[in-house]
A = this chain, B = another copy of it.
């Protein structure tokens, strides 16, 4: 092949090239137009959204009959600058070689397909404009996340996928086993004997890497996870997937106030990165997916996030005069309608809501002196509500132990989690961001199934 000899279309269109002659491109045909004296091919090679236009001056000299939409080709020719068109450079073909043809049953003939249809052929949808853009964008934003943390001295942690604990209570857990389900070994009492399973106890897929991240933070200082997490919930919504990627930073010697500064900096960094480093993708989203998306991001970048307590939020909501579906009452969890009222109507910018009632939050959050609220924070943004949730962690051994006992947790199993409070405990804080939720927010894509290459949802783990 000509892997190293060819020129990527991205480089050609950006005129990041040494040579205009004897240029080789390798790619797939997106469209073909043939007339008697001239033909045009639009070629895409995956390096960028845009196609390279190939101009063929003597069409009958080339094997164009066998070259249809979807076919892979090698084209050698020379580049020419053209004026007054969107693409300011095109190629005059000298040699055209068919590599792999695309029969007429190629499902990508038509220019437009519904996202629903494309989910059925998820193996071919990356070849469309939208899913090419989404996948390249996903890659760049994943790198942005690493860059943010690495530049700030955070250490990347691979938290385990298979775990034997689910105490976080964040959601339903998938079982991981090597048992023959037809004949699992039973104990004398007739129960499943997990001591004979692969890991010697009941195991499942992680719902969060947070507890392990806490542990690492109390040794390495600042850490972050970025890995897959799982929920075995039968939620068929546009915002839920059974497998998704989470980012969970954890900072030692850091209280809630300080962490909120990091959250604000992080969100603004990511939005700015998208605008600055992914202009092609953002223009596409802004034009085809959600008009006005760029303005929404810019407003958030320029905003100073509001800060209120949960109790203040309840007060605002009670006085709002709004007719909420879920009546407002101290002690309730905020629903999306409440969150959106706060960020969209009341503050008109992102809001950090802190100090939620203890009873609606997780066991590891630091209990306030009032013994009723905990040092939790949800960061709310217009249109969706909560995008990031976090907390200062309970670092006091006795307080945490008491709380775990209240909740009837298996203390022995979590002794390691208690141990990091026993030996040189430190105030520490962390938060979680769902990577797909971030991508949906920046891009305006409406369904989580369309920002993951191979989504896993109830009833679907294809490809």
Residues on A facing B (Cβ under 8 Å): 1-4, 6, 8, 10, 26, 28-29, 45-47, 70-72, 99-103, 106, 108, 123-124, 126-127, 131-132, 135-136, 138-140, 142-143, 146, 150, 153, 155-164, 172, 174-179, 181-182, 184, 191-192, 198-201, 203, 205, 212, 215-222, 227-228, 230, 232, 234, 242-243, 245, 251-255, 258-259, 261, 395, 416-417, 419-427, 452-454, 456, 458-463
Copies in the complex: 2
Distance in Å from the Cβ of A279 to the closest Cβ of chain B? 16
- Knowing that A142-B158, A181-B184, A200-B459 are A-B contacts, what are 17 other residue pairs whose CB atoms are under 8 Å apart, sorted by A's residue number? A1-B255, A3-B253, A47-B221, A100-B424, A101-B424, A123-B215, A123-B420, A158-B228, A160-B454, A162-B461, A163-B461, A175-B176, A175-B178, A179-B181, A199-B456, A216-B453, A416-B463
The reply to whether B178 and A177 form a contact with Cβ atoms under 8 Å apart is: no
CB<8 Å pairs between A and B, sample of 13: A3-B255, A26-B426, A106-B423, A123-B420, A126-B216, A143-B150, A160-B453, A162-B243, A174-B178, A178-B232, A182-B191, A198-B232, A215-B463
The reply to whether A26 and B253 form a contact with Cβ atoms under 8 Å apart is: yes
Contact of A178 among B135, B172, B245 (CB under 8 A): B172
6 smallest CB-CB distances across A and B, nearest first, come from A46-B221, A100-B425, A126-B219, A46-B220, A123-B416, A3-B258
Distance in Å from the Cβ of A291 to the closest Cβ of chain B? 26
| Residue of B with least CB distance to A74 | B253
| Residue of B with least CB distance to A107 | B423
The reply to whether A424 and B199 form a contact with Cβ atoms under 8 Å apart is: no
Contact of A453 among B157, B161, B460 (CB under 8 A): B157
Contact of A177 among B101, B160, B181 (CB under 8 A): B181
What separation, in Å, do the CA atoms of A198 and B216 have in the docked complex? Answer: 33
Contact of A175 among B1, B71, B181, B417 (CB under 8 A): B181
Most chain B beta carbons < 10 A, residue from A184, A199, A212: A199
Which residues on B sit within 8 Å (CB–CB) of A135? 155, 157, 216, 219-220
Contact of A426 among B100, B172, B203, B243 (CB under 8 A): B100
What separation, in Å, do the CA atoms of A127 and B108 have in the docked complex? Answer: 55
The reply to whether A160 and B192 form a contact with Cβ atoms under 8 Å apart is: no
What separation, in Å, do the CA atoms of A458 and B178 have in the docked complex? Answer: 11
| Residue of B with least CB distance to A452 | B158
Distance in Å from the Cβ of A426 to the closest Cβ of chain B? 5
What separation, in Å, do the CA atoms of A29 and B424 have in the docked complex? Answer: 9
Which residues on B sit within 8 Å (CB–CB) of A232? 178, 198
Distance in Å from the Cβ of A122 to the closest Cβ of chain B? 8
| Residue of B with least CB distance to A46 | B221
| Residue of B with least CB distance to A68 | B424
The reply to whether B126 and A139 form a contact with Cβ atoms under 8 Å apart is: no
Distance in Å from the Cβ of A386 to the closest Cβ of chain B? 23
The reply to whether A47 and B153 form a contact with Cβ atoms under 8 Å apart is: yes
The reply to whether A139 and B155 form a contact with Cβ atoms under 8 Å apart is: yes
The reply to whether A243 and B160 form a contact with Cβ atoms under 8 Å apart is: yes
